């Protein structure tokens, strides 16, 4: 009888490992272990972008990014109150994540090649598709960004906004004078005092700035052009694939829940659904938490805490908020938008 060769044995071992791998318990990962040991999730957020992450007079945080933080905390700790919010400027945010001062960054950070490939970080997925625009005083009678020749334009430093501004006008052959500020509050104060002829940032912020920050909102207009793509979402450190997967799939669970009609209000009733997708998502059938190193109720807790993606959007930046932004690209994939979750199975 011919004895099996080393190559045959190796192939058989690999095949057996491949069969067993899906059933192996997932390792929790060092970041999740640290979070559990301290019983607290540390979220890096902005210093104040209303609709995404900002505080009220009592110091309570709210916004789309804050709700995603709360969903993550509920999924991994079982309590959305066990969060420390660390407000970070555009210059501080990536360093804070790299150094381990925060576990996850939700800071209106745009996903770019350079940031994703050279900072030792991973962008997990997109929670808001945005684009850069301009706010101008109506008295200047400017109806297009192309009319801003030789204009002084206020912009926040350390952002993709600053680079996009220079790239756009260089390509248009138009000279401008960027006036750069480290903090958002300082940039807005300079613009509304007349220091600049235009202010530029993500379009999601401009409508709110006009309506809530301008001394007289009717004296200002948002120009129609969008000069960039600004996909925003959670960022984690490289080197911990387990944590990367958890953050990513919590967001996907929020998106998937909206597609299947699971809300904060009907979540308990939906646990009795016979739909296999709903059963897997809510842990009433297969245990979707096991591959993530979590329990089977991880997604149900996230949804009970923050609601599905549509609820989070409407509450913070949509019709239920002062911003009243349209869903646009942030609508579900089957309703003309780009929000699409891979299958939870």
First to last CA, the chain: 44
Fold topology of 30-129+232-263+305-325: D-Maltodextrin-Binding Protein; domain 2 (3.40.190)
Q: Which two tokens stand for residue 131?
A: 């684009």
Length of the chain equals 345
Mean per-residue pLDDT, 212-217: 91
| Sign of the C-alpha dihedral computed for residues 156, 175, 131 and 235 taken in this order | negative
Give me the pLDDT at residue 11, please.
53
Which residues share a beta bridge with 49? 53
Give me the pLDDT at residue 212, please.
83
Which residues share a beta bridge with 54? 62
- E strand or H helix that includes residue 199: strand 198-202
Q: How far is CA 252 from the centre of its chain?
A: 12
Domain with CATH 3.40.190.10 in the chain: 30-129+232-263+305-325, 132-228
- In 3D, which of 193, 227, 232 has the Cα closest to residue 108? 232
Please check the confidence at residue 20 and state whether its pLDDT lies above 90.
no
- In 3D, which of 325, 72, 301 has the Cα closest to residue 203? 325
- Cα atoms in the 13 Å half-sphere on the side-chain side of 265: 2
pLDDT in tens, 111-170: 999 999 999 999 999 999 999 999 999 999 999 999 999 999 999 998 889 999 999 999
Pairwise CA distance, residues 195 & 244, whole Å:
43
- For 132-228, the fitting CATH number among 3.40.190.10, 3.40.50.10310, 2.160.10.10, 3.10.150.10 is 3.40.190.10
Please check the confidence at residue 236 and state whether its pLDDT lies above 50.
yes
**Residue 285 vs residue 187, higher pLDDT:** 187
Percent of the chain with pLDDT over 70: 92
pLDDT in tens, 21-39: 333 345 568 999 999 999 9
For the entire predicted model, the pTM comes to 0.84
3-state secondary structure string across 328-342? HHHCEHHHCCCECCC
Give me the pLDDT at residue 18, please.
39
Percent of the chain with pLDDT over 90: 80
Q: Which two tokens stand for residue 34?
A: 């640290």
3-state secondary structure of 286: coil
Q: How far is CA 164 from the centre of its chain?
A: 20
């Amino acid at each position: 009888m011919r004895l099996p060769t080393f190559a045959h044995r190796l192939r058989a071992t690999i095949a057996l490992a491949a069969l067993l791998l899906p059933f192996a318990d997932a390792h929790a990962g060092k970041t999740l272990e640290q979070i559990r040991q301290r019983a607290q999730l540390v979220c890096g957020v902005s210093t104040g972008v209303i609709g995404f992450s900002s505080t009220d007079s009592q110091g309570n945080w709210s916004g789309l990014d804050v709700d995603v933080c709360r969903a993550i905390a509920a999924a991994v700790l079982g309590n959305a109150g066990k969060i420390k919010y660390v407000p970070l400027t555009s210059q501080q945010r990536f360093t804070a994540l790299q150094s381990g001062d925060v576990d996850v960054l939700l800071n209106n950070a745009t996903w770019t090649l350079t940031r994703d490939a050279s900072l030792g970080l991973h962008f997990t997925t997109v929670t808001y598709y945005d684009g850069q625009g301009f706010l101008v005083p109506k008295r200047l009678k400017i109806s297009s960004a192309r009319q801003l020749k030789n204009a002084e334009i206020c912009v926040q430093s350390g952002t993709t906004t600053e680079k996009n501004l220079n790239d756009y006008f260089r390509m248009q052959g138009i000279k401008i004078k960027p006036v750069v500020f480290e903090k958002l509050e300082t940039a807005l104060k300079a613009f509304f005092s007349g220091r600049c002829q235009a202010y530029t940032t993500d379009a999601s912020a401009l409508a709110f700035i006009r309506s809530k920050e301008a001394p007289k909102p009717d004296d200002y207009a948002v120009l129609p052009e969008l000069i960039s793509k600004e996909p925003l979402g959670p960022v984690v450190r490289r080197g911990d694939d387990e944590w990367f997967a958890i953050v990513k799939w919590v967001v996907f669970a929020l998106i998937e829940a909206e597609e299947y009609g699971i809300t904060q209000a009907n979540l308990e009733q939906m646990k009795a659904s016979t739909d296999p997708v709903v059963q897997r998502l809510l842990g009433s059938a297969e245990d979707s938490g096991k591959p993530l190193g979590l329990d089977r109720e991880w997604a149900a807790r996230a949804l009970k805490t923050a609601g599905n993606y549509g609820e989070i959007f409407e509450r913070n930046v949509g019709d239920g908020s002062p911003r009243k932004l349209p869903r646009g690209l942030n609508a579900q994939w089957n309703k003309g938008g780009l929000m699409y979750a891979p299958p939870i199975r």
